[in-house]
Structure 1
Amino acid sequence: MNKLAYTVFVAFIASMLTLIAVHRLVPEQEPGDGEARAGITAAELARHDSAASCWKAIDGQVYDVTAYVDAHPTDPEVILAWCGRDATEAWRNKRPGVPHSARPGPSAGISGWASCRIGRPGGGSQGKKDQ
């Protein structure tokens, strides 16, 4: 019985050490990371500021929401006003003091947003247009 318990204990420890080693050696990936790029510059983000190509930075991630412009529940101008720049403020404050939506958004990592995620901002401040 002691041999069996010892063998099970050694197998358990070996399994745990393997899991720890794999976790440390394999880089973590977020949903949608397959083709996400790091370092999208403010200038590159600012070039995508129209209905033809609408990119937004929200909570430290850049999303291509071009396909969503027509599906947005308000007038396209509302969503287009934030294209090509950091839209975190718009996401968090639909109206002053009112959160954007009760539905999960980019921060929740839902699959719809993950498929729109194209990278992370970097290389300077976010592109901003005059309001």
Structure 2
Amino acid sequence: MRGLYLSSTVLFWLAVAGLWHAAEAPPEPAINPPSPAEAPASPGRYSTGDVARHGLAEDCWMIIAGEVYDVSSYIPDHPTDPEILLPWCGRDASEAYRTKGKGRSHSAYADRQLAQYRIGTLRSP
């Protein structure tokens, strides 16, 4: 009976660890590179004008700390109301990301997740 208890306990904790590990690894998003018509002269380096042309929910680029992100595919998956991201499409969202609008910063997990959507850096004017 004791062996059954120990085996069940070990299997339970292995299952919990497996589920926890699976939840930690976010799925790889599809990053949509710009079409040749919208590609800037220097790929991976974008101006604020380049970013401003992507100001819609279905085509949403943002500047955060000098980096450019295409978060179009992430908007429906945002943990709070996805509408909170829409005003920042096509704009510099550095301060909004840093403070979440409430003076609190995003988690390290959010920072790691954001990195998946990076498409380039902001080009100096």
TM range (shorter): 0.5 to 0.7
2:116 alignment partner, SS class? helix
CA RMSD of aligned residues (A): 2.0
Matching residue of 1:113: 114
- What's the TM-score, normalizing by structure 1? 0.56
**Distance in 2 separating the partners of 1:105 and 1:58:** 13
Deviation at 1:113, TM superposition (A): 3.0
Residues 95, 113 of structure 1: CA spacing in aligned structure 2 closer, same or farther, 3 A cutoff?
Answer: closer
Which aligned runs of 4 or more in structure 1 are off by greater than 6 angstroms? none
What is the aligned residue count? 84
User: Considering only CA atoms, is the larger Rg found in Structure 1 or Structure 2?
Assistant: 1
SS of 2:108's equivalent? coil
Deviation at 1:116, TM superposition (A): 1.2
Deviation at 1:88, TM superposition (A): 0.6
Question: Percent identity at matched positions?
Answer: 42
**Partner residue, 1:13:** none
Q: Is the aligned partner of 1:92 residue 2:92? A: no
Higher relative contact order (CA 8 A, sep 6+): 1
Letter in structure 2 aligned against 1:55: W
Tell whether 2:107 aligns with 1:102: yes
Residue 44 of structure 1: aligned partner? 50
CA 1:98/1:46 → structure 2, altered by over 3 Å: closer, same or farther? Answer: same
Structure 2 distance, partners of 1:97, 1:66, is 25
